Structure 1
Amino acid sequence: MTAATTTAAPPGAHVVPGGVRFALRTAAPDAWLVLMRPDDGAVLREIRMDRAPGAGGLHTVTVPGLVPGTFHYGFRVAPRPGGTGPSPVLLDPYAAELGGGGAWGERPAYRSALPDGSFDWGDDRPPGIPAADLVVYELHVRGFTRHGSSGVARPGTYAGLREKIPYLRQLGVNCVELLPVAEFDETDNTYTDPATGRPLPNYWGYNTVGFLAPKAAYAADRRPGGPGRELKELVKALHAAGIEVLLDVVLGHTAEGDRRGPLLSFRALDEPAYYLLGPDGAYRNLTATGNTVNANHPVTRAFLLDCLRHWATEYRVDGFRFDMASILARGTDGALLEEPPLLAEIAADPVLAGRRLIAEATDAAGAYQVGSFPHHGRFAEWNMRYRDAARRLLAGRPGSVAEFATRLVGSPDLYAGRPATASVNYVTCHDGYTLADLTTYERRRNEANGEGGRDGVADEDSWNCGHEGPTRNLDIRRLRERQARNAFLLLLTSQGVPMFPAGDELGRTQRGNNNAYSQDSPTGWLDWAGLARHRDLYTFVRRCLAFRRAEPVLRREHHPVDTLPDGWSLPPVSWHGEEPGQPDWSEGSTLLAALLHEERPLPGGPPSTVYLAVNSGHGPRALRVPDPPPGTRWHLFADTAAPPGRQAHRAGAEPPCPSPHHSLAAHSALALVARPLKSAL
């Protein structure tokens, strides 16, 4: 027996007194609920749903006696005018879990599921880290612990990642950004391994199937409700360790592809509302995936907002990184909007208040909104200009010194009138070369992706240090190691929010593959043996992170300027060269030196002052360092060309500098910190 709901209800499946209420929004005239057996998906019964009058195409039905976890479900809809026959069984866009996925790599037979949503969050509290203190660590849930060297009991899972929380704390990061964890079909990849002929996976997961459902194959416990519980346990444990959780969300396209792709839900429910279509009815492919979500259509806008609210409330995540966020700024005709309503609503939404919002301000159709993304005072951005400037400086390219100087102080040219933390700075991320490969390859080596080696970015401003690929030449290997230290020192002394991908601190390599989206293999996994092989680099990164935490001048919200404020002993930033006050901004310059100063970061406290110099040239440079603030002397924090063990010192235990004169080796960087004279040894 069923009782039809006649009033508007929230979409999806929801427990109500005595049963479960189902609600589906569709432009189709008729809809049916399909109840299925969880074990094999066999159809148990189909129930016609009632169209709620005046509710924008909402169809509802309440089924008494249903208990979460004991059934799967889907929907059928009648065809729109011109169609024939009812649709196949469709997924609920609002499904909180998808069943039928099986273990990783098994072809899924997806069905919607309603898990038992109960979870004891206990005294969970968001860490609430100030934006200026944030350090983002980007990782792939499976790849982080899948390698046999990870030493965890449940590799490749949320639980396995939870076992590595002590490592995250020891390293010193305080925020993890997870590559997509919304349900996706990893078997949805048309390419094969050219060496074996085996199908390649869609390993990264940028092809969302279930926008509100956690990826079940990332769970050690795949019983009904298990994936959601395990992900919540991970978030809760990270919070308890003082670590925030950001989700990389893919809202601009779906796993349905174009009309040649699988019919999962949106295409049958209301194709013109959910997808951008051209005048001829063909799909606009602005994402290079076959389809583009019609993000600013009222129906789709409401759905995407509900997705974000779900992750924020049900999973208590601390924020989102929006993949190809410029798609969310496009109108129903595909053109970029000056005032996209979706972005305004996300920024103003009370449920999302306090959540971090980070935009990848580009898309595959040529939009490049870095510095101009419609931010509403809420969105930060992945700063690709920082990435490019840092890489060019490390490689000693013309014009790179002046360009990076602007990036060092938080990119005020891009984020004027906004805090420096609007800039999420990075040198590498999951896209492109790892940091080790950035210093080893100038030519991508993507043949294993099955696309003839043509995929991925052709030129990443990389420099192989004089030899393409691995080498036994000790001088080149030492130079590559120094370049990695240079990159980390620059990143962690720059104004803005630093981000780096898991494994860069361990010398992780993808052997030149700069588009490892299909590499569920040692190429795409983190090899934890790197901790022993690259212990010096790991120690260097830990000490740089501790130094950043210790020095407020490196964590300023505002963009420092080179004018002297009243009552200050030094300006917030001053620029230098081989001699104090004589910077070289010429096109061929290879020396950048900056003195960063904050007079009183804490009321009544001492100043925080750091001197940074980087030499991207092929020969050494002799420096005379400017005077530190009165009552202080310079101490050496880092010299990336120093012997192992002396490349970076513990914060607060830096040795004093005996002289203002320093020799800066080729392709090296130096960081000094001013300490009160009374603390000098």
Structure 2
Amino acid sequence: MTTRMLSGHHHTLGAHWDGEGVNFALFSAHAEAVELCLYDVTGQTETARYTLPEKTHEVWHGYLSGLDPGAVYGYRVYGPYNPQAGHRFNHHKLLLDPYARQLIGEFRWNDAHFGYRRDDPEEDLSFDTRDNAPFMPKCVVTAPSVFADDTRPKKPDVSWSQTVIYETHVRGFTLQHPDVPELARGKFAGLGHPKIIAYLKALGITSVELLPVQAFSDEHFVYEKGLRNYWGYNTSSFFAPHTAYLNENDAAEFRHMVDNFHQAGLEVLLDVVYNHTSESNRLGPTMSFRGIDNASYYRLQAENPRYYVNDTGCGNTLNVSHPRVLQLVMDSLRYWSSDMGVDGFRFDLAPVMGREPKGFNPRASFFQAIAQDPQLSRIKLIAEPWDIGPGGYQLGNFPAPWSEWNDDYRDTVRRFWRREPGQLPTLARRLHGSGDIFERSGRRPYASVNFITSHDGFTLRDLVSYQQRHNSANGENNNDGHRENLSENFGVEGPTDDAAIETARRRQQRNLLATLLVSQGTPMILAGDELGRSQQGNNNAYCQDNELNWIDWPSLGKHSEDLNAFVTLLLKLRADYRILSHPSYIHPPHRPESYDIKWLNSDGLEMREEHWQEHHSFLLGYLLTGPHDEQSRVTLLVIFNNSTQQQEFQLPDYQAESGESALCWRWLVDTIQERGIPERPSAASGEKLNIDERSVAILGCNKDIRFAQGTSND
């Protein structure tokens, strides 16, 4: 290796090997000098230190010939330590390269990470000279990507209208799976194992959404309680995969997992956190961005730059309005989409990405950058449409082609099934794909990502078993997590030996799942809900890296198998009856050959205005009809009965031709049954059915439905 650093170039940020050496480039507008520190292969011993010799357009850069992939490094950045002016440079702190594609070692908490002296009365106005390098992970130079090889499986390119999302966690999903090799459990290799992929394919989902896999660390307050950040929403590196999910500490392991999913026709979506970083507020650690250029990377309070804008609730907010920070996010997204093969992203606290000085703007620079990008504009983009900043709730306001987590859907369905009065009109809108929220801006039903549960909150099993949160294990005196869960425990809080309560809870899980999977829009299932997984009433299990979060595969019994079979049945139904996932909003037709949607009362006739005003009615028919020239699977009827007793429902009539059988209606799903498989014979047009209390009945007919009277509400 040469002992002299050459000037190199500023064009490509990060560390890039060209076959003869490595070019290093780091953006910092306000730094006075930048040192590159090289380490041995273990990352424990510093072997050399070089000053980057050039600064071009606010990018510090240098070139070392003879340096190869696998080289380990970090940065020390010199500049003013003046928090009141927004600057927090401290060259005593080893920093991660924001563009590092691989890390070695783990972040270990130590007071040396703080840029100030924690025992000083002036807090962050003081200056700490301890070296944090022994406790920091280090960056690793990687070889140029070889992932563009044409022999790799092509992306499945699942249409939005056919997408079914399965939200899961790399570690928790496989850590206790007996068919996954022990060394692969809890890793990318385990999630990409053939047994896991076969399970997901058999279930019927199309797209796996992974909780954060970009390198993250534990928050200090979590560490002090002896807990771990399990979910991963505390990102420290936007390019490097989380090292704990790697077997051989090779970033290519992630791409191999993605290739396995693609080979099976399944998509991989990533939950990404570009709204804040792991450096927290002014009293947080100095790990990367804060020490490289605090005033550029973060949004600071204009009246006092010592303090951070905290629209995220996590202590800081990334300054995506800055062109270099926007470039960082865009480069990161392109890397994961192209080099790593990812099919789409779900953006945590997404309003942050569009917030400008006057508030949220759907035409903010970030959204425009995405829209004009030939690669990113074609993949799946999902927003979590809320944060805690001013005007932070933005459901329905993201631009096309974005989709959004629809918490209004979640809450409406929960309210209906726990028998809150007056829910029928809103329930119909949510079943319709929330056109009242999304269609007004010209967007499609799949813009609504419908969900009953997610990683944040109760699992489905807990939703029907607990009235209150039980978060004491989190060490916050049960004060964290959502206070109101719109849940129902059926008379007993938590586990019970009462057979009647258990039966009611299992049926309610089926009711909720059935509602989700017959709704227009994009359904999302929380991993383990199809197995009845419980978190013992913890609705904020972000810090529980233990059996509370891990799926206990060895202990699954008959009820888990039954529920899994039920979800499989529903997903097959959704795939067979494409009218359930129509790519456009369905309205009463102007032409006979059009698709149609109708809302029915117990007489099998269209709901009238007075029916919608019956606040204590819990019976609704949902009828979908396809073009008349289709030969089969054109008409679907879903009957929701959340009454406390059996209700009579008259099936719609149709115009029978001479000699035609009247037994049009065939039972497809009945949530009374543990596996949803009906035990009822076909029914005749116009026949009156007894629909059991608190259940969902789904029937299909391939005839032309005729209505003699009634008006449509849609």
Please say if 1:221 is aligned against 2:226: no
Which residue is equivalent to 2:621? 593
Q: Secondary structure at the match of 1:663?
A: strand
In the alignment, is the contact (CA less than 8 A) between 2:8 and 2:61 conserved in 1? yes
Which residue is equivalent to 1:508? 533
In the alignment, is the contact (CA less than 8 A) between 2:165 and 2:208 conserved in 1? yes
Which residue is equivalent to 2:113? none
Please say if 1:8 is aligned against 2:7: no
Which residue is equivalent to 1:556? 582
Point out 4+ residue stretches in structure 1 off by more than 6 angstroms. Answer: none
Which residue is equivalent to 2:114? none
TM-score, normalising length: structure 2: 0.87
Deviation of 1:337 (Å): 3.3
Of residues 663, 667, 670 in structure 2, which corresponds to 1:636?
Answer: 667
Distance 1:108 1:212 in 2: 20
- Bigger drift between 243-252 and 306-315 goes to 306-315
Of residues 216, 232, 246 in structure 2, which corresponds to 1:184?
Answer: 216
- CA 668–368 in structure 1, closer or farther in 2 if over 3 Å, else same: farther
- Bigger drift between 539-548 and 35-44 goes to 35-44
Distance 1:608 1:98 in 2: 54
Please say if 1:88 is aligned against 2:93: yes
Which residue is equivalent to 1:112? 139
Q: Secondary structure at the match of 2:238?
A: strand
Distance 1:352 1:489 in 2: 33
Q: Secondary structure at the match of 1:414?
A: helix
In the alignment, is the contact (CA less than 8 A) between 1:95 and 1:210 conserved in 2? yes
In the alignment, is the contact (CA less than 8 A) between 1:390 and 1:427 conserved in 2? yes
In the alignment, is the contact (CA less than 8 A) between 1:326 and 1:361 conserved in 2? yes
**1:221-259: CA deviation from partner (whole Å, max 9, x where unpaired):** 23xxx2x12111110000000100000000000000112
Please say if 1:140 is aligned against 2:169: yes
**1:312-360: CA deviation from partner (whole Å, max 9, x where unpaired):** 11101000000000111112x4833353111221122112132100000
Deviation of 1:32 (Å): 1.7
Which residue is equivalent to 2:420? 397
Of residues 156, 161, 165 in structure 1, which corresponds to 2:197?
Answer: 165
In the alignment, is the contact (CA less than 8 A) between 2:604 and 2:621 conserved in 1? no
In the alignment, is the contact (CA less than 8 A) between 1:147 and 1:522 conserved in 2? no
Which residue is equivalent to 1:459? 484
Question: Letter of the aligned partner of 1:636 in structure 2?
Answer: W
Gaps of 5+ in 2: 83-87, 110-133, 705-714
Aligned pairs for 1:244-259 (under 5 A) are 244-259=267-282
- Bigger drift between 660-669 and 148-157 goes to 148-157
Question: Letter of the aligned partner of 2:570 in structure 1?
Answer: C
Deviation of 1:63 (Å): 0.4
Distance 1:342 1:624 in 2: 52
Which residue is equivalent to 1:202? 229
Q: Secondary structure at the match of 2:63?
A: strand
Question: Letter of the aligned partner of 1:199 in structure 2?
Answer: G
Which residue is equivalent to 1:408? 431
Distance 2:168 2:263 in 1: 19
Distance 1:604 1:487 in 2: 30
Aligned pairs for 1:521-540 (under 5 A) are 521-528=546-553, 529-530=555-556, 532-540=558-566
Distance 1:564 1:582 in 2: 14
- CA 191–128 in structure 1, closer or farther in 2 if over 3 Å, else same: closer
Deviation of 1:483 (Å): 0.7
**1:75-111: CA deviation from partner (whole Å, max 9, x where unpaired):** 122213757863522110000011112899xx96211
Distance 1:393 1:592 in 2: 11
Aligned pairs for 1:236-385 (under 5 A) are 236-278=259-301, 279-281=303-305, 282-331=307-356, 333=357, 335-337=359-361, 339-365=363-389, 367-375=391-399, 377-385=400-408
Aligned pairs for 1:398-477 (under 5 A) are 398-416=421-439, 417-477=442-502
**1:601-630: CA deviation from partner (whole Å, max 9, x where unpaired):** xx8654621101111121221100112576
Question: Letter of the aligned partner of 1:336 in structure 2?
Answer: F
**1:254-273: CA deviation from partner (whole Å, max 9, x where unpaired):** 00011211101111222122
In the alignment, is the contact (CA less than 8 A) between 1:13 and 1:22 conserved in 2? yes
Q: Secondary structure at the match of 2:221?
A: coil
Distance 2:81 2:461 in 1: 57
Of residues 569, 575, 583 in structure 2, which corresponds to 1:543?
Answer: 569
Q: Secondary structure at the match of 1:75?
A: strand
**1:553-596: CA deviation from partner (whole Å, max 9, x where unpaired):** 111011111x233124x861111111122533122221121101
Deviation of 1:435 (Å): 0.3
In the alignment, is the contact (CA less than 8 A) between 2:54 and 2:62 conserved in 1? no
Distance 1:87 1:546 in 2: 59
Q: Secondary structure at the match of 2:240?
A: strand
In the alignment, is the contact (CA less than 8 A) between 2:297 and 2:318 conserved in 1? yes
Of residues 14, 20, 36 in structure 1, which corresponds to 2:22?
Answer: 20
- CA 629–75 in structure 1, closer or farther in 2 if over 3 Å, else same: farther
Deviation of 1:655 (Å): 5.5
Distance 1:213 1:313 in 2: 14
In the alignment, is the contact (CA less than 8 A) between 1:639 and 1:668 conserved in 2? yes
- Bigger drift between 269-278 and 453-462 goes to 269-278
Of residues 594, 605, 618 in structure 1, which corresponds to 2:644?
Answer: 618
Question: Letter of the aligned partner of 2:164 in structure 1?
Answer: V
Over the matched positions of the two proteins, sequence identity in percent amounts to: 35
Q: Secondary structure at the match of 1:234?
A: helix
In the alignment, is the contact (CA less than 8 A) between 1:635 and 1:675 conserved in 2? no
Which residue is equivalent to 1:664? 691
Which residue is equivalent to 2:519? 494
Deviation of 1:418 (Å): 1.0
Q: Secondary structure at the match of 1:413?
A: helix
Which residue is equivalent to 1:156? 186
- CA 658–471 in structure 1, closer or farther in 2 if over 3 Å, else same: farther
Deviation of 1:364 (Å): 2.5
